[in-house]
Amino acid sequence: MSEVGISSIVGYIPKLRLLRKSVAESNAWLAPNLMGKGKGTRSMANWDEDSVTMSVEAARRLLGPEDDRSHVDNVFLASTTMPFADRLNSGIVRAALTLEESTQCTDISSTLKCGTTALINAISSVQSGKSDYSLVLSSDKRKSRVGSSQELDFGDASAAIGISNKDIIAKVLATSSVSVDFVDHFRAPNEEFDYNWEERWIRDEGYLKIIPKLVNNLLKENDINPSEIKKFILPCIFPRVPQTISKICGIDPENVVDNLALNVGDSGSAHPLLMLTHVLENAEPNEKILVCSFGGGGDAILLETTKLIGKFKNEESISALLDNGVEETNYMKYLTFNDLVKWEKGMRGEIDRKTALTTLYRHNDAIIGLVGGKCSKTGTIQFPASRVSVSPNSPDIDTQEPYKLAEKRANILSWSADYLSFSVNPPNYYGIVSFEEGGRIMMDFTDVGEGEIESGKDVKMVFRIKAIDEARGFTRYFWKAVPI
């Protein structure tokens, strides 16, 4: 059997970093205990980001700008915060990435270990010969009650991993899982927030009993000496618990990987994969890495880096993402972005946002995939595509071929900053984007800081929430432009 493992891996952390001190100070009058958690920052998604959009962004960074993505056989999307309970969320991702319709798409949820469970499923798919390349995506944007410790502990992020039997940077040595109905927290179908149990119980009866058993069984069954583990990954909000577990299992506590708590927080199902990304971006050949996760039991995945790890480099590493974050001190902005306060939206915010599902289906490639048209006769590019070419001197009929715009270079032709139209994050920035190879679109701008937008400036396309139909619970997606 040929070796199977990770051929590429990348993480995505939203631009904003909420200053924990601002949260703790705002809630000190009712929860003074939060001041002890008021150090550092946590990652904060924009209002128009969710687990689907962050997964798309991570996947685009992994797959690169190539139009041909036909090598992707499977998409496994893991999240505990899927925007739809009954709609194939990974199917939205597939459409946004313009993958083949024959791509097998699977949603995995309901436990914080679903990210590693998706990874194990992808590994099994390639090992069995059912696929040559599987794409694993994990993302979470968890809500928490105002004034809770989770508000400070949580963070928003995503990760993408390519599993293949070719060009492997880290081969899979073994995987193991246990399913234990240990309830440390839960969230009922119609609830927004987790109900959390007592921390000491979770630590002593959960982490300190379930994870050592899982790790010891994996090492023993595969005849691996604990001293061989050079990196031990275990997301945990309780300080020193991973080090305690490493000692119990015979792993050097010095090899426990930093959990990014001070500047990201815990990104739920994505966090073990985000930590793994950070490790592999700085790894040497022949290092054994043990990745574990906790939730409804636990998963353990043992990897060993290959000589190809020396050539592995992401365009934007986890370290770069951490360094490039923008500190956000406005706690009210976080509350507003996450719909945790009732605020006056004004009359312009009262429009009906019902989505015509027939139109969405008929124009799915354009809306979700940002696919326009290119005239096969004149080369004229346009969006949206139509039967008649917009070429001024050659309005040919039925000459257009699909043309993907999401990865194309573009710049700002014109823009407006509008305080009158409704926006969750005013002012509402929008304008005309001109693509370098041809084609123009009027679209929204997002992730815009003060003074960051001007005509002629380069932009990149990002897949984001366009609007939320609160009356029907439907999230509408489209593409936006971000100044670079």
* pLDDT at site 273: 98
In degrees, to the nearest 5, what angle opens at C-alpha 432 toward C-alphas 455 and 385?
145
Kind plus residue range of the DSSP H or E element containing 249: helix 241-249
Whether residue 69 contacts residue 98, with contact meaning beta carbons closer than 8 Å, is answered with yes
What type of residue is 168?
I
* pLDDT at site 361: 96
Phi, psi (degrees; rounded to nearest 5) at 96: -65, -35
Question: Which parts of 288-422 are beta strand (E)?
Answer: 288-294, 297-305, 326-328, 371-375, 381-382, 400-404, 410-418
| CA 330 and chain centroid, separation | 23
Helix (H, G, I), strand (E, B) or coil at 122: helix
Provide the whole-model pTM.
0.96
Q: 268: how many CB neighbours lie within 10 A of its CB?
A: 27
| Greatest CA separation for the chain | 76
Exposure string of 97-116, with b = 16+ CB inside 10 Å and e = fewer, is bbbeeebebbbbbbbbbbbb
Whether residue 26 contacts residue 108, with contact meaning beta carbons closer than 8 Å, is answered with no
Q: Is the peptide bond before 384 cis (omega within 30 degrees of 0)?
A: yes
Q: Is 293 left (phi over 0), alpha (psi -120 to 50) or beta?
A: beta
* pLDDT at site 221: 96
Of 203, 252, 208, nearest to 226 by C-alpha is 252
* pLDDT at site 351: 86
The whole-angstrom separation of Cα 148 and Cα 23 is 10
Of 53, 44, 46, nearest to 476 by C-alpha is 53
| CA 342 and chain centroid, separation | 27
The whole-angstrom separation of Cα 72 and Cα 7 is 12
* pLDDT at site 348: 82
379-437 pLDDT tens trace: 999 999 999 999 988 999 999 999 999 999 999 999 999 999 999 999 999 999 999 99
Q: Which residues of the chain have pLDDT under 70?
A: 1
Q: In what order do the strands lie in the sheet with 458-469?
A: 440-444, 428-435, 410-418, 458-469, 474-483
The whole-angstrom separation of Cα 442 and Cα 434 is 9
Domains of the chain in start order, with CATH, are 5-337 (3.40.47.10), 348-370+405-483 (2.40.50)
Task: Show the tokens assigned to 259.
Answer: 């959990």
The whole-angstrom separation of Cα 235 and Cα 145 is 22
Whether residue 432 contacts residue 446, with contact meaning beta carbons closer than 8 Å, is answered with no
Mode of pairing for the β-strands spanning 74-78 and 104-108: parallel
* pLDDT at site 321: 97
Of 206, 209, 232, nearest to 219 by C-alpha is 232
Mode of pairing for the β-strands spanning 133-140 and 157-164: antiparallel
